């Protein structure tokens, strides 16, 4: 009987999610960083219309200061509206990144900045709502994306294009990151309780011929399921508790104070960092920065991952 009880305890506690296992993320990182490797902090951030084409200097300056404090090695950006590559490079230098690449210079570009040189591999626009940027830095292939904000069927097509691109180009060490405007089946446990959000999206769909973000009267999980079944690994899911995963909207779009339950009932996770299987065991931690410091920087919250990579 004692043996059976012991086995049951091992099963119960041994299968807890990673975010339940470790109270101190710093000690977790220290245990996992091995000799000959370095911890690389990677972030993704939708910056809400490019700080109005860099015209909102107050928000831009606060963003720069916050990024300096986080000190990422690599930063993926979405909604670089009104920003060209020269301006992106100037912005990146303010927070210590001498290298920057942008996907295009019109509409809603995506971009990547880094402390180390960036090798531009491809800019893909065909059948992708805001396009995709493929770069390499720190020995990793980065795909920065921003999927359609309007239609789940279009996003599903984008997901197939992106996963086919990964397979065709044999991107075994790859990170796919950005604003996916999509919901994950891994969040269904708490997302299905967001009745206010469900009603809001359903009403918006009903009023518009163009917006079909809901699959009928239900959340759509097909787009993110396509990435998961590739398979790609959802890093934030592994390290962030379900009720702490909201990436949109921030207080900049909300009429409710954060302490109001109505604010939490409208939260959704639509920003992700995915990694290929070869990188999953090198991921040390992940973060969703939905806290006071980022409430008024953008309508999205930034996300991040710490990964252990060989020293170059």
pLDDT digits (tens, 9 = 90+) for 36-62: 889 999 999 999 999 999 999 999 999
CATH 3.60.10.10, applies to 38-310: yes
pTM as predicted: 0.88
pLDDT-wise least confident of 11-25, 201-215, 249-263, 281-295: 11-25
Question: Nearest CA to 297 among 53, 42, 61, 41?
Answer: 61
* Distant-in-sequence, close-in-space partners of 24: CB < 8 Å, separation ≥ 6: none
Give yes or no for a contact between 284 and 236, defined as CB atoms under 8 angstroms apart.
no
Phi-psi region at 113: left, alpha or beta (left = phi > 0; alpha = psi -120 to 50): beta
Query: What pLDDT sits at residue 259?
Result: 59
Query: What pLDDT sits at residue 48?
Result: 97
Instruction: Provide, rounded to the nearest whole percent, the portion of the chain with pLDDT above 70.
Output: 86
Query: What pLDDT sits at residue 143?
Result: 99
SS3 301: coil
Query: What pLDDT sits at residue 19?
Result: 41
pLDDT, tens digit (0-9, with 9 covering 90-100), for 152-209 = 999 999 999 999 999 999 999 999 999 999 999 999 999 999 989 999 899 989 988 8
Angle at the Cα of 60 from the Cα atoms of 54 and 64, rounded to 5 degrees: 130
| Lookup: tokens for 91 | 């912005």
Query: What pLDDT sits at residue 49?
Result: 96
- Residue 135 pairs in a beta bridge with 120, 142
- Per DSSP (E only), the strands in the chain are 37-46, 74-78, 99-102, 110-114, 119-124, 132-137, 140-146, 174-179, 232-234, 271-276, 283-288, 303-310
- Stated as kind and residue range, the H or E segment containing 214 is none
Alpha helical stretches, state H, 131-233: 152-168, 188-191, 195-207, 222-228
- Residue 99 pairs in a beta bridge with 114
């Amino acid at each position: 009987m004692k043996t059976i009880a012991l086995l049951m305890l091992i099963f119960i506690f041994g299968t807890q999610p990673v975010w339940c296992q470790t109270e101190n993320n710093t000690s977790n990182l220290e245990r996992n960083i091995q000799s000959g490797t370095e911890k690389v902090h990677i972030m993704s951030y939708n910056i809400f219309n490019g700080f109005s084409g860099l015209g909102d200097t107050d928000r831009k300056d606060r963003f720069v200061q916050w990024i300096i404090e986080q000190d990422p090695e690599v930063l993926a950006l979405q909604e670089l509206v009104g920003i060209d590559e020269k301006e992106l490079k100037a912005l990146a230098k303010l927070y210590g990144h001498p290298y920057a690449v942008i996907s295009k210079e019109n509409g809603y570009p995506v971009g990547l900045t880094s402390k180390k040189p960036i090798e531009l591999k491809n800019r893909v626009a065909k059948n992708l709502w805001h396009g995709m940027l493929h770069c390499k830095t720190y020995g990793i292939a980065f795909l920065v994306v921003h999927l359609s904000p309007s239609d789940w069927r279009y996003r599903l097509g984008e997901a197939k294009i992106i996963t086919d691109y990964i397979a065709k180009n044999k991107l075994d060490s790859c990170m796919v990151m950005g604003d996916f405007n999509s919901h994950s089946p891994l969040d269904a446990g708490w997302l299905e309780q967001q009745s206010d959000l469900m009603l809001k999206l359903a009403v918006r769909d009903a009023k518009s011929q163009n917006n079909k973000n809901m699959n009928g009267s239900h959340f759509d999980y097909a787009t993110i399921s396509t990435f998961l079944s590739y398979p790609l690994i959802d890093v934030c899911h592994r390290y962030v508790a379900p009720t702490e995963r909201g990436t949109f909207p921030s207080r900049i779009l909300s009429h409710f104070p954060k302490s109001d339950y109505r604010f939490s009932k409208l939260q959704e996770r639509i920003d992700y960092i995915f990694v290929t299987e070869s990188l999953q065991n090198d991921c040390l931690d992940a973060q969703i920065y939905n806290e006071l410091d980022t409430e008024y920087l953008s309508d999205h919250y930034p996300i991040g991952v710490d990964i252990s990579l060989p020293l170059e």
